[in-house]
Chain A
């Protein structure tokens, strides 16, 4: 194939990758898209992608058949990734250093493998891409363009997923706070209801206490109206009326004192 044609086919593959990626709603879906589409962009035995945003980390390991993702609260970098992080520039390792890869990513020595690595940093975010190529899976400088394109799309997608995750967490927190406030309101309402009941009880009891001397006053006033003489009123009714009025006053004072005491006790402020 002509070089132009190869480019065109690869761009088509990239556009397909891009479309699939934009529809992803989880890190697992992203891993799956990588497993399916990455091999049409460039050659590799395996690819490792690590993304970090603030305290959030996602690590993808993609082979020809498989793709795995770990989402963590702290970085779980491979030794060569730590080197990339400290040097902050593209690196390429020969056979010997490739031995630092986990056993699962080892390939036969006759492959004469090369490990390529890139660092893409952007504000609070950092994306590492590393790729293991060999004689049967050759990787050339020309392919770096697609690594960069892939990294850009992936970086914004992973940030979006982490932001959504954060949003869900915040929403959960808000729901929790709301539920707690509901509980507090319920408790306060029940306290107020109890206080109201108690105050109502006091007012009923008070009314009963006051009725007794008051009924006497009313009775005596009636007798006064029917009395035969002033002497009867002066000698028999008035002293009793006075006593009853005093009793009523005493009861009223007690009621006021009790109610005040209860109010303080109930903390109705």
Chain B
């Protein structure tokens, strides 16, 4: 988890060091801070302790948060892909390893 986040963060810094990256390994803590941070985009891992990616999406739905979410998964499962599309704010399903130009594109299109 920590390593995955390190990789993603390194990629983002490499694309543009000016981006503010908030890196969480604790999804509960992340959910607590999400409104304060008010992010342009959330990269969400499905496989997390305590609160998994689906639980995180459910909580966002309950709190009517509309932040754009990209799912980051190491699974190529079509089932997960289908399920993620049922959430209105999920705009993409990315399979690890993340490619830098894909990430660059995402950052560009979601920048406010």
Can you list, as one digit per residue, whether each of B73-105 has a CB less than 8 Å from chain A (1) or not (0)? 011110000000000000000001110100000
Shortest beta-carbon distance from B45 to chain A in Å? 10
Are the CB atoms of B7 and A219 closer together than 8 Å?
yes
Q: Does the CB pair A243–B97 fall under 8 Å?
A: no
Task: State the CA gap A75–B14 with chains docked (Å).
Answer: 104
Task: Tell me if B74 and A215 are in contact (CB < 8 A).
Answer: yes
**B residues less than 8 Å from A240 (CB atoms):** 3, 6
- Least Cβ distance of A240 to chain B in Å? 5
B67 at the interface (CB under 8 A from A): no
Complex Cα–Cα for A218 and B7 (A): 10
Most A CB contacts (10 A, CB to CB) among B8, B47, B98 go to B98
User: Shortest CB–CB separation between residue A236 and chain B, in angstroms?
Assistant: 7
A219 touches B76 (CB 8 A): no
Assess whether A215 is in contact with B97, with CB atoms less than 8 Å apart. yes
Name A241-262 residues within 8 Å CB distance of B: 243-244
Q: Counting CB contacts under 8 A, is B10 at the interface?
A: yes
Distance in angstroms from B49 CB to nearest chain A CB is 14
**Residue from A211, A220, A222, A226 in contact with B3 in the complex, judged by beta carbons closer than 8 Å:** A220
A208, CB-defined interface residue at 8 Å:
yes
Cβ–Cβ < 8 Å partners of B11 in chain A: 219, 222-223
- Given A218-B97, A219-B98, A222-B100: A211 touches B7 (CB 8 Å cut-off): no
A contact set with B: CB distance below 8 Å: 208, 211-212, 215-216, 218-220, 222-223, 226, 236, 240, 243-244
| A-B residue pairs in contact (CB < 8 Å), sample of 28 | A208-B74, A208-B76, A208-B77, A211-B75, A212-B74, A212-B96, A215-B74, A215-B97, A216-B7, A216-B96, A216-B97, A218-B97, A219-B4, A219-B7, A219-B8, A219-B96, A219-B97, A220-B3, A222-B11, A223-B7, A223-B10, A226-B10, A226-B14, A236-B6, A240-B3, A240-B6, A243-B3, A244-B3
Question: What is the total of A-B residue contacts with beta carbons within 8 Å?
Answer: 43
Tell me the B7-56 residues at the A interface (CB within 8 Å). 7-8, 10-11, 14, 47
Residue of A nearest to B2 (CB): A240
Residues of A within 8 A of B77 (CB): 208
- Distance in angstroms between the alpha carbons of A240 and B14 in the assembled complex: 18
* Chain B residues in 8 Å Cβ range of A236: 6
Interfacial chain B residues near A211, Cβ < 8 Å: 74-76, 96
Name which residue of chain B comes closest to A216, CB basis: B3
The answer for the CA separation of A98 and B85 in the assembled complex, in Å, is: 103
Q: How far is the CB of A116 from chain B (nearest CB, A)?
A: 93
Would you call A215 and B75 a contact (CB within 8 A)? no
In the bound assembly, the distance between CA atoms of A244 and B3 in angstroms comes to 8
| Distance of A107 Cα from B7 Cα, bound (Å) | 118
Residue contact A208 to B75, C-beta cutoff 8 Å: yes
**Distance A118 CA – B9 CA, assembled complex (angstroms):** 113
Q: Shortest CB–CB separation between residue B43 and chain A, in angstroms?
A: 13
Q: Which of B4, B47, B76 contacts A216 (CB 8 A)?
A: B4
